[in-house]
Amino acid sequence: MFKRLIELDKRFDDIEAEMTKPEVLSNMEEYKKLARERTDIKELVDAYREWRAAKSEHEKTTELLSRESDDEMKALAREELASLEKEMERVEGLLADSLLKKTERHAKSMFLEMRAGTGGEEAALFARDLFASYMKFAERMKWKTEIMSSSPSDLGGFKEVIAVIEGKDAFNILRYESGVHRVQRVPETEAQGRIHTSTITVAVLPEPEELEISINPEEVRVDLFRSSGPGGQHVNTTDSAVRLTHIPTGMVVTCQDEKSQHKNKAKAMRVLRARIKEKMEGEKEQEISDERRKQVGTGDRSERIRTYNFPQGRVTDHRIGLTLYKLQDILNGYIEEMTGPVAAHFRSEALKNG
């Protein structure tokens, strides 16, 4: 924890020095950016400096006590030490809470992306069921939701579905749902009653502000085509569906749910912006430390994180070893008994690893 606080303390001084430079004072955008960062860490730095001052006084008083021979002065020094220790403990608690909050990210809205993995039609049906669970939870939390794009399967499941969720702390509550979710059950498509194992992938992405990620229009290829539903049935007779390809990264986003080409393009661009930001941040984390990322935990969508076992009615999160025999409750949108402990675990790990 204190390694991180030392870094923030130095960064605070660096920011203040930067903000006095003529080239920064003449660049209002850069100045505002530094001012926001300064405001963001000031309370934490002030508390750390308060702790550091108390620690310095504690060290001085301890040294004085070791040299003092007068009993009355020794008693006063011990009282002072006890008072300083209480103060240091109080501030340490505040620092720990503040650092935990720093592991959270502020995002007005987020994207929930789900894709059927192994298991074919059964995977698509489970994607539909799990997506419904998240939507029920969002409704209970009074969050605003909107489906951005969906690709239905022949039996009414989802090959892929992307929704935007807007609400207080939505991203921080759901951010650790990213990964591979495995289901073990007898599929609707199975006549002989055999249990199958299927998987879906979930990705949770904060929606960046437009100013955070700038996309050069010349680097995006736009393809238009007709919207279609399951079985190849045409939903639309006009080329309203949009496929965006970001040439530098190869990322592809398709949106066909709206009848308007412009609305589909706008939705697809929002999703593309979030994916590019996630890629940039992932590369940055990789550069900082592969090992640290493993320790803190990832939310990597390639990591198998959870198993839903229907015959036993249980759900297991493999990252923290938590098993709940409340499968039906979770499918009905009561997911907080799973998401809460998982989020607490990762916040704790982030604090330990600075």
pLDDT in tens, 203-257: 998 887 665 677 888 888 988 887 665 444 444 456 788 888 898 888 888 888 7
Domain at 109-208+291-352: CATH code? 3.30.70.1660
Band (44; pLDDT cuts 50, 70, 90)? confident
Q: Which CATH class name applies to 2-102?
A: mainly alpha
What SS3 class is residue 288?
helix
What is the pLDDT at residue 291? Answer: 39
Band (182; pLDDT cuts 50, 70, 90)? very high
Average pLDDT, the chain: 83
**Cα(90)–Cα(85) distance, integer angstroms:** 9
Task: Flag whether pLDDT at 73 surpasses 90.
Answer: no
Selection from 313, 305, 310, 308 nearest residue 342 by Cα: 305
Top pLDDT among 87 and 101 is at 87
Q: Which of 62-71, 91-100, 273-282 has the lowest mean pLDDT?
A: 91-100
Band (160; pLDDT cuts 50, 70, 90)? very high
Query: What is the residue extent of each domain of the chain?
Result: 2-102, 109-208+291-352, 217-287
Q: Kindly list the distances between the CA atom of residue 39 and the CA atoms of 206, 208, 321, 326, in Å, as whole numbers in the listed order.
A: 22, 20, 38, 43
Amino acid at site 105: R
Q: Where are the beta strands (DSSP E) in the chain?
A: 109-116, 144-152, 158-166, 179-185, 196-206, 220-225, 241-246, 251-255, 304-309, 314-317, 322-324
What residues does 180 pair with on adjacent strands?
Answer: 201, 304
What is the pLDDT at residue 232? Answer: 42
What is the pLDDT at residue 212? Answer: 62
Task: Flag whether pLDDT at 327 surpasses 90.
Answer: yes
Domain at 217-287: CATH code? 3.30.160.20
Three-state secondary structure of 17-73: HHCCCHHHHCCHHHHHHHHHHHHHHHHHHHHHHHHHHHHHHHHHHHHHHHHCCCHHH
Tokens found for residue 157: 């499941």
What is the pLDDT at residue 198? Answer: 92
Q: Give CA torsion, residues 310, 311, 314, 317, to 10 deg.
A: -70
